[in-house]
Amino acid sequence: MTPSVLTLEQETNPWLAAEARFDEAATKLNLDDGLCKVLRSPTKEITVHIPVMLDDGRLEVFTGYRVQHSLARGPGKGGIRFSPDVTLDEVRALASWMTWKCAVVNIPFGGAKGGVICDPRVLSDGELERITRRYTAEIIEFLGPERDVPAPDLNTNDRVMAWIMDTYSMHVRHTQTAVVTGKPLDLGGSRGRPEATGRGCTIVTLKALKKLGIAPSDARVVIQGFGNVGGMAGKLMARAGFKITCIIESDVAVYNPKGLDINALLEHRKETGSIGDFPGAENRDRHEAMFLDCEVLLPAATENAVTSANADRVRCKILCEGANGPVTPAADEILMDKKVFVIPDILANAGGVTVSYFEWVQDRQGLFWSESEVNSKLEEIMVASFDSVVDYAEKHGVNNHTAAYMLALDRVAFAIKLRGIYA
């Protein structure tokens, strides 16, 4: 099903969106049908039902998933999210995105993703720990430094990773730090990991500005999402001379055409619980703020921020996908007609998985790097990956989204051909 004939409901289904991008790239590469079937199909889809005793004495059962999309280039790599909105379709799509993301930045991982259907806002720390440990125990035979290496994702963090690492270590009877990434520093985490995704977005946006001949000081930036990715990208972009004119959160947006003080805004939200009513800025409708005139739009919140229903209203020169899947395949065609330079998610937000790779390497060798070393290695990989995607786009006459997928599919397909099919 091509992007142009998808209904809006189909267009915003993450699995169908991933398939649409896959199909277009595979067609451009002339991949044979059999190889397409292998690349399209997840290696494993694991569903577990997790009994957990709640604090009030009730026994509740939570559903969890782990999807390993491809292990052709190395162990599975991908986060675990806790959310009431987790679906198997979403986890499938995110696992495939991880395959392509790792291939785009050319690190030796395959793609995986996990999730548990729960609402962390109504659960105590003890309940969350029991869910995490039982979920880990249920999928433990599929985890390991050489099998599948989880990481934090939506509503999970370094503490949750510490619980997973400890649970795994108790089962294998020795401390195994390399089974997860995104851990606390004192348990084998890497310096630079919390900033990595936002730093990666900043690096590739600077590359795009240079390509378009725009100075950072002339770049007005609108950021949707002010969490780890959007907040850190905002801080780093401001430090690099960008003018951050608008920040959009789930309740309100704040706007100042002269630029927002990102550090002060972060402090304001910490004190008040919201970015709204920030001194020196005006509140804006969060839906309308997405379409402010700017040089850079950074959607760093959720999927489907830009669809065929609103892409014609986007007014930016560069769209950097900080979130996973913020632009639907059908919206690509509209943005291409508008000559918007899109930095695809599997490149733009790959800084996080790249530094996760660094953490895995450091854990396995027992030797840890300084933050400057981590940042330098990250910049080297992000710059090379940006150049590879842009070169691929220009060589094949396609948009950056299609180029990134073509590059990723080519690398994974090549690994499968080299390995052969075991039978």
Which is nearest to 351 in space by CA: 208, 238, 194, 145?
A: 194
Domain assignment present for residue 272? The answer is yes
- Residue 365, pLDDT > 80, answer yes
164 shares a domain with 54: yes
Domain assignment present for residue 105? The answer is yes
335 shares a domain with 204: yes
Q: How far is Cα 13 from Cα 3, in angstroms, rounded to an integer?
A: 12
- Residue 4, pLDDT > 60, answer no
Of 179, 208, 226, the position where a domain reaches its end is: 179
Over residues 179-196, mean pLDDT? 96
Domain residue limits at 253 = 196-348
CATH number at 114 reads: 3.40.50.10860
Map tokens 């957990």 to a residue: 52
Distance of CA 313 to the CA centre of its chain: 25
268 shares a domain with 154: no
Question: Are the C-beta atoms of residues 79 and 151 closer than 8 Å to each other?
Answer: yes
Domain assignment present for residue 31? The answer is no
User: Cα(first)–Cα(last) distance of the chain, in Å?
Assistant: 31
Q: For the chain, how many structural domains are there in total?
A: 2
Question: pLDDT tens, 55-110?
Answer: 999 999 999 999 999 999 999 999 999 999 999 988 998 899 999 999 999 999 99
Task: Return phi, psi of residue 81, to 5°.
Answer: -115, 145
Sign of CA dihedral 230, 235, 239, 241: positive
301 shares a domain with 170: no
Active site residues: 113
Domain assignment present for residue 383? The answer is no
171 shares a domain with 290: no
> Hey, which residues does 222 pair with through a beta bridge?
246, 297
Domain assignment present for residue 420? The answer is no
Mean residue pLDDT of the chain comes to 95
201 shares a domain with 300: yes
Q: How far is CA 310 from CA 159, 169, 222, 246, in A?
A: 38, 48, 16, 19
Confidence of residue 1 (pLDDT cuts 50, 70, 90): very low
Over residues 148-174, mean pLDDT? 97
Confidence of residue 6 (pLDDT cuts 50, 70, 90): low
Question: Are the C-beta atoms of residues 278 and 259 closer than 8 Å to each other?
Answer: no
CATH number at 259 reads: 3.40.50.720
Domain assignment present for residue 138? The answer is yes
Q: How far is Cα 126 from Cα 138, in angstroms, rounded to an integer?
A: 18
Q: How far is Cα 280 from Cα 278, in angstroms, rounded to an integer?
A: 6
Sign of CA dihedral 326, 329, 330, 332: positive
208 shares a domain with 118: no
201 shares a domain with 175: no
289 shares a domain with 216: yes
Sign of CA dihedral 101, 105, 109, 115: negative
Of 152, 179, 206, the position where a domain reaches its end is: 179
343-361 in b/e form (b: 16+ CB < 10 A) is bbbbbbbbbbbbbbbbbbb
Domain assignment present for residue 402? The answer is no
Domain assignment present for residue 242? The answer is yes
